[in-house]
Amino acid sequence: MPLKFQIYLCCEKGGEFTMIEKNMLRDRADCLPPVTDEMYEAFNEENKSILNEFLDNSTHLSKQSVKQYTSALRIFFNYVKDYLKNKPVYEISKRDFLKYVTFLQNHGLSSSALKMKKSAVSSLVNYIETFVVEDDVNYEKFKNFTKGLPVISANKVYEKVKITKEEYDFLIDTFISQEKYLYACWVAVSFNTGCRKEEARQFKSEIANYPFPDDKSFIDSHKIRAKGKGADGKVLSYMFNREAIKYVKLWLEKRGYEHEYIFTTKYNNEISRVSEDWANDLCTRIISNLLNRRINPHIFRASAATYLMEKGVDITKISKYVLHHESLEVTQRYLIRDESEEKDSIF
């Protein structure tokens, strides 16, 4: 049995596996410990109050963003409790916040993680400036302590390497040979539609029954909620080609039960949609070991766009109909280009 298959089976059975480091550019940061409810209760009462008020009034944020902001703001106020004598937010200075950002940087967080945590605090501070200062005497001297700090320099934890068509075929063949039809279906849908992992969770089984028009090479999915502001986000549909539909039908045929959604699991006779972290785990524990480099779900989205570009599809069409971006500039950042061919043409 090939070594990659052995690694795959070991991971699948819950055995030990080696974290792939091949395309890592620096060491991973340890996750910041979660702020428990008990830790939260020790926060300054004013900080708890303004945190809850801000979150209650953040109707412009998506459900996922609210979750991220809640975590980020709890981490911030826990720092305030541990290192700033639990002072109320209206006494926090710019110097205090710089120390907090430095604390996060020293912990080794990526620039994207730093920016998200800084953005959460900045949003809270903007809310205070706009809605609280005029109504609360405690905030009469409040100043925005998030402005004027040094810009967070971009860094990367790992080098993004595209998934090639040959690697895609290898993954499909591997999962089919091991009768892991759910995994094959996810790989096929992700690579061929360019959807995000959370969007994949929304795809319904009914898609397999949509008729293919004779003059079309794709069908449109039902409407789903994509990444965007507010509770509704951006409502759109994804194009499913015949390749994606082929493995959707295979999985639905093999799973042995009916369910509204495509991506489901069955444990102890209980059937449910895959969890929010399921695709991350699949990529980390299985696919990364099969391809021998660090893979996450977002690499599939970038690889889908890159593969289409390399086939000669107009990038503006990829941007509009596959990635559903608002601007071409964003799409350009998604593409994983092979610089070797460009370099070969220099001399």
Cα–Cα distance measured from residue 187 to residue 185, given in angstroms and rounded to the nearest whole number? 5
Write the DSSP assignment of 264-322 as a string of letters.
EEEETTEEEEPPTTHHHHIIIIIIHHHHTS---HHHHHHHHHHHHHHTT--HHHIIIII
How many residues are there in the chain?
347
Q: How far is CA 288 from CA 8, 9, 18, in A?
A: 10, 13, 10
Alpha-helix runs per DSSP H in 84-202: 94-106, 111-127, 165-177, 181-193, 197-200
Q: Which residue out of 69, 90, 183, 334 is catalytically annotated?
A: 334
334 is annotated as an active-site residue:
yes
Write the DSSP assignment of 73-100 as a string of letters.
HHHHHHHHHHHSTT--GGG--HHHHHHH
181 is annotated as an active-site residue:
no
Q: How many Å separate Cα 237 from the centre of its chain?
A: 19
Cα–Cα distance measured from residue 336 to residue 326, given in angstroms and rounded to the nearest whole number? 19
Beta carbons of 46 and 89 less than 8 angstroms apart: yes
Q: Which residue out of 246, 249, 298, 325 is catalytically annotated?
A: 298
107 is annotated as an active-site residue:
no
285 is annotated as an active-site residue:
no
Cα–Cα distance measured from residue 301 to residue 279, given in angstroms and rounded to the nearest whole number? 13
Q: Which residue out of 227, 273, 320, 325 is catalytically annotated?
A: 227
227 is annotated as an active-site residue:
yes
Q: Which residue out of 117, 118, 255, 324 is catalytically annotated?
A: 324
Q: Which residue out of 117, 196, 197, 255 is catalytically annotated?
A: 196
Catalytic residues: 196, 227, 298, 324, 334
